[in-house]
Amino acid sequence: MSKQVKELITSEIKNRLSSVQDCLVVNVVGMDAIKTTNLRKALRRRNISVVVVKNNLARKATEGTSLHPAFLGLKGSSAVVYGGEDFVSLVKDIVEIQAQEKEFPGFETRGGVMDGEALNPNKVKEIAKWPNRREQLAMLVGQILGPGAQLAAQLKGPGGKLAGQIKKMAGEE
């Protein structure tokens, strides 16, 4: 590959990943065209983008960005996946698809980057167990509503008894 072509590819990778803060690097080598198309379709349904890159060119394109640690130490070709609802949801989706070994053989996580920190495949599996944004919001709402419901019940209980006693006394007079 000529130097000019490498520079064009590097600038294209830089443009595509310019707005990406967190990503995963996966292996797609070894899948035939039909399985690759099905994989891309499954990812597209989940709003996940895929860019197949040479690791050396991606390393040059992401130099000075938060994505750079994802490509350190990798060789050959990889695919960068990004998008989804949030990063934890992205990781959960990728791990779920990765579990479908028969449908997508050879699809495996090689690493990634989250908040500028490099991730290894074991850390990615650990992140997949974390609650995603929607689950965290549900937990937060539950924690906010719990004490409020308890307070309302405490106010309603004695107030209801007092109202019942007043009603009883008003009916006896």
Any idea what the CATH number is for the domain that residue 121 is in?
3.30.70.1730
**20 and 97 share one domain:** yes
Q: What is the mean pLDDT of residues 86-98?
A: 90
pLDDT at residue 74, rounded to an integer: 86
DSSP state string for 73-97: T--SEEEEEEESSSHHHHHHHHHHH
Q: What is the mean pLDDT of residues 159-164?
A: 76
**24 and 86 share one domain:** yes
CB 125 within 8 A of CB 162: no
The residue written with tokens 């830089």 in the block is: 14
96-155 residue pLDDT tens:
988 887 888 888 899 999 988 999 989 989 888 888 878 888 888 888 887 877 777 777
Q: What's the structural domain count of the chain?
A: 2
Reduce the DSSP state of residue 103 to 3 states and report it: coil
**108 and 151 share one domain:** no
20-36 residue pLDDT tens:
999 999 998 888 889 99
Q: Band of the pLDDT at 172, cuts 50, 70, 90?
A: low
**81 and 153 share one domain:** no
What is the span of the domain harbouring residue 168? Answer: 131-173
**30 and 106 share one domain:** yes
**122 and 169 share one domain:** no
Q: Band of the pLDDT at 50, cuts 50, 70, 90?
A: very high
Residue percentage of the chain with pLDDT more than 90: 29
**100 and 173 share one domain:** no
Q: What is the mean pLDDT of residues 51-60?
A: 91
**58 and 119 share one domain:** yes
Exposure class string for 70-106: b at 16+ Cβ within 10 A, else e: bbeebeeebbbbbbbeebbbbbbbbbebbeeeeebee
**136 and 114 share one domain:** no
pLDDT at residue 53, rounded to an integer: 92
